[in-house]
Amino acid sequence: MLKALDTHAQLDFPQFDSDRAQLIDSLSQAGVGVINIATDVESLDRIDELTRKNPLIWGTVGLHPTEVDSQTLINLPDFLNRCKNIVENNSKIVAVGEVGLDYHHDSSTETAKIQQAALRQFLTFAQELKLPVVFHCRSAYGDLITLLGEYVELNGVIHCFGGTVSQAEALLKMGYHISFAGNITYKSSDELREVAGSVPLERLLLETDCPFLAPQSRRGTRNDPTGIFEIAETLAAVHNVEADEIVAKTLANGQKLFQINE
């Protein structure tokens, strides 16, 4: 029985090679579901296999924006055809992602132009297949909000949100969900907790972004999907509710958004 949902994890990453099977087994026994997120070309086959073998793991298809360059753009139609084939043959692929914009390390006009062109193709693809979208956004919220104004039929989640209250409000008005990761538990994250307090419970999702961003009690170590419970405690304090309510509400939100019937 599904009791909690980590909506953004990368269990296919090499950090889990030594104990992946044991970890997934323990998560399954605890009722912790996972949406494993595609990040690059190679991740598609790994995720396809993971989701087929494990009842409480679902997956996505997409490319992290930092994986996108001019050559990627040329090859993107072929990549999207491959994604479509996986979606059509695996009912546990539940979203397009992670896709988006990332200007953190390269804010050049050329990079922005290429990433936006790729994102538009992914969003058109998501519309055609009627799938939600998992967005990555870093140092690019203004452009993302502007671009999403062109795609009013889409829904999805802004993962590991790092924007402002006003940016969160703009995305919420468009109908998007917002997800917070382990960095919300850090002592220096007062502003992020303020943003989280402005997000209605009906639009919240939990995620770990594991193996990265371990919560405060485990900071600096490999993260895993059990980290969502510490994140839930922080969000519960922000919203003045019990942690169990956060876990249950985010599970219901995730099941609805990603059409998970488990």
Rg of the chain over all Cα atoms, to the nearest angstrom:
17
- Could you list the residues known to form a binding site, using ranges: 8, 98, 136, 159, 209
Residue 40 contacts residue 67 (beta carbons within 8 Å) = yes
Q: Which two tokens stand for residue 109?
A: 């006009």
Task: Catalogue the long-range contacts made by 183-186 (C-beta closer than 8 Å, 24 or more residues apart).
Answer: 183/213, 184/231, 184/234, 184/235, 185/215, 185/216, 185/217, 185/230, 185/231, 185/234, 186/216, 186/219
Picking from 186, 190, 251, 183, the residue whose alpha carbon sits closest to that of residue 212 is 183
User: Would you list which residues are annotated within the binding site for a divalent metal cation?
Assistant: 8, 98, 136, 159, 209
